[in-house]
Amino acid sequence: METVLVTGGAGYVGSVCCRQLLDQGHKVVVVDDLSTGHASAVPEGAELHQLDYADRSEVARLLRHASIDAVFHFAAQALIPESVLNPGRFFDANLAGAIGFLEVLRPFGVKRFVFSSSAAVYGDPQSLPIDEDQPKSPVNSYGETKLMLERVLDWYARAYGWNVVAFRYFNASGATEEIGEDHQPETHIIPLLLETALGERPYFEIYGDDYPTRDGTCIRDYVHVADIASAHLCALNRATDAGFSAYNIGTGKGYTVREVVEEVERVTGKSLDVRLRPRRAGDPAVLCASPAKLVRELDWQARGSNLEAIIRSAWEWKLKHPEGYAAPQVNSVA
Ligand SMILES: NC(=O)c1ccc[n+]([C@@H]2O[C@H](COP(=O)([O-])OP(=O)(O)OC[C@H]3O[C@@H](n4cnc5c(N)ncnc54)[C@H](O)[C@@H]3O)[C@@H](O)[C@H]2O)c1
């Protein structure tokens, strides 16, 4: 059994990961300021500490009382349009805050670190599917903060003997029985479509249908949130030699926006009002990842990541929680 400190464990991906850690018998200590997460998403059995992971003195106080074996770092500012308008806030929160956090961890001898990076580190891909060696050229400050923190962690691995895994997520999606996606504001395609299906939004907007793809709309790689979480468990179970490794978490298969709309219509049985808008700046035509390295080196398998299963799970969760986590129930706040 390991004790894992999970920053952002009240968020969408982090809370699913906490569930899987607990199911495998690990102890889970969550640090989350609840800025975008929900106390009631933290599974029972995990210990929730409501604080900013960049608060050095509070995190040090926590570390003095908990013996941490590994850190899973999910917490971040992640709204891409905001990162374009306000890069300073992103560098401060995602990079400066994170470096302070690493410096607090160091004297406590915590050397195993798993970081939620992003497809945004690549920018416009040079070839498809994207493998980890492609050039990194972020087109927004969010992606730049992820890439810079990867670089920082690489130096920690070299100099301090840390064992670091960076996972570059593509589109996290879907739900488990307990945990679903509830971001405010919501910007992700599947929850937006489901809100439209339930009449919470009057229509759904497609940004551009003149891309060089099979129906002109953008192609993205959708991965079930439980498959993303399970990659973290694979990282925890692997050898603990010093070093830095980065892995894509994708399926290698992409769907167009129109295909996602059609699948949502099939699953929900609702016909959606879809309106076409001009392209948005900074949207690559196709983002699709090769998971070959993750499969080969960490023995990862995608189990629930086909589009129909993803949408069905998200729809079932939405029907059970039409207002998301609007009425929070706190499991345990330390
Ligand atoms: N969801 C995706 O499709 C996706 C894709 C690529 C990368 N990622 C990355 O994965 C991670 C998790 O994403 P998510 O969708 O679960 O996001 P989320 O917003 O649901 O979760 C983030 C959690 O971090 C917490 N948090 C934010 N700043 C904090 C701080 N300073 N101190 C303590 N807690 C803080 C929030 O309250 C929230 O609970 C993020 O790092 C994100 O950049 C997500």
- Residue pLDDT tens, the chain, 334 long: 999 999 999 999 999 999 999 999 999 999 999 999 999 999 999 999 999 999 999 999 999 999 999 999 999 999 888 898 899 999 999 999 999 999 999 999 999 999 999 999 999 899 999 999 999 999 999 999 999 999 999 999 999 999 999 999 999 999 999 999 998 888 899 999 999 999 999 999 999 999 999 999 999 999 999 999 999 999 998 877 999 999 999 999 999 999 999 999 999 999 999 999 999 877 889 999 999 999 999 999 999 999 999 999 999 999 999 888 975 443 444 4
> What's the CA-to-centroid distance between 275 and ligand 1, angstroms?
29
Q: Which atom of ligand 1 is nearest to the CA of 171?
A: 3
Cα separation, 58 vs 213, in Å, equals: 49
Distance CA 175, CA 284 (A): 26
**Nearest-atom index, ligand 1, CA of 169:** 6
- Ligand 1 mean position to 216 CA, how many Å? 30
- How many whole angstroms from 212 Cα to the centroid of ligand 1? 31
Q: Residue 58: left (phi > 0), alpha (psi -120 to 50), or beta?
A: alpha
* CB of 53 closer than 6 angstroms to any ligand 1 atom: yes
User: Does the Cβ of 190 fall within 6 Å of ligand 1?
Assistant: no
One DSSP character per residue, 212-260 reads: SSSSSS-EE-EEEHHHHHHHHHHHHHS---SEEEEEEE--S--EEHHHH
Q: Using the mean position of ligand 1's atoms as its centre, give its distance from the Cα of residue 9 in Å.
A: 8
pTM: 0.95
Q: Is the CB of 33 under 6 A from ligand 1?
A: yes
Is any atom of ligand 1 closer than 6 Å to the C-beta of 12? yes
Q: Which atom belonging to ligand 1 lies closest to the Cα atom of 188?
A: 3
Reply yes or no on whether 12 is catalytic. Answer: no
Percent helix, strand, coil in the chain (nearest 5)? 40, 20, 45
Q: Is the CB of 116 under 6 A from ligand 1?
A: yes
Instruction: Establish whether residue 75 lines the binding site of ligand 1, counting it when its CB lies within 6 angstroms of any ligand atom.
Output: yes
The rounded distance, in Å, linking the Cα atoms of 185 and 79 is: 9
Classify 101 in phi/psi space as left (phi over 0), alpha (psi -120 to 50) or beta: alpha
Beta strands in 108-162 (DSSP E): 112-118
Q: Which of 12, 122, 142, 211 is catalytic?
A: 142
Cα gap 127→176, rounded to integer Å: 33
**Per-residue pLDDT, 328:** 43
